[in-house]
Amino acid sequence: MALGTVNVSGVMQSDIEEVKQDIQYVSDLIGEEANTGATVTEGTVMAKLNALLDKFTSGGVGIKKVQRGTFQEKPAGGSTVNDVTITISAVNPEKTFVILRGGAASGYASSPSVVMGYLKSLTATNFTYAGARGSVTVSPAMINYEVVEFY
């Protein structure tokens, strides 16, 4: 005898009914909003799923804010005089990172200037870019930044 596509010959009807009830119980839990009280690491599978869904829909995980802008680096790098401090909207530095992208600026004899600066510091309301270009024969480049804060 077969039940669906599973061969159940030799199995007691009571065992089949018990398995059906277990499957129905699990099926009933899917999407059950009342199955809560868990964290993403503890509780039933559905309670964990509901905890994750709650975090996703309430802003508990993911990107909170992205700030973008552009600034021009100073003529030559290598000293604190050439640092550039950019003011940003308040963020939690523990949950934030900064992406710096620089373009090539043409300078002496049309040579490209590869931006070699780096993020020197990040606070709640600003970040400091430390210019590291060692040549004064090239034009300062425009630097694009993205400040990404997570929940």
Does 98 share its domain with 77? yes
pLDDT of 132 above 80:
no
Task: Identify the pLDDT of residue 137.
Answer: 57
pTM for the whole thing? Answer: 0.55
Return the higher-pLDDT residue of 19 and 7.
19
The CATH number assigned to the domain holding 71 equals: 2.60.40.2080
Contact 103/142 with Cβ under 8 angstroms?
Answer: yes
Structure tokens at 146: 């993205």
Task: Identify the pLDDT of residue 111.
Answer: 47
Does 117 share its domain with 136? yes
Question: What is the number of structural domains in the chain?
Answer: 2
Segment 47-100, tens digit of pLDDT: 777 777 777 677 666 788 999 999 988 876 555 578 899 999 999 999 999 998
Does 76 share its domain with 52? no
pLDDT more than 70, % of the chain: 64
Phi then psi dihedrals of residue 144, to 5 deg: -95, 140
Is residue 19 very low, low, confident or very high in pLDDT (cuts 50, 70, 90)? confident
Does 84 share its domain with 132? yes
User: Where among 57, 73, 104 does a domain terminate?
Assistant: 57
Does 43 share its domain with 97? no
Distances (CA, A) of 117 to 39, 69, 71, 122: 42, 16, 12, 15
Task: Identify the pLDDT of residue 39.
Answer: 65
Does 90 share its domain with 127? yes
Read off the pLDDT of each residue in 13-30 and give the average, rounded to a whole number. Answer: 78
Residue 133's domain spans which residues?
63-150
Does 70 share its domain with 53? no
Neighbours of 68 (CB within 10 A): 10
Read off the pLDDT of each residue in 25-44 and give the average, rounded to a whole number. Answer: 68
Does 108 share its domain with 50? no
User: Where among 34, 57, 80 does a domain terminate?
Assistant: 57
Does 145 share its domain with 107? yes
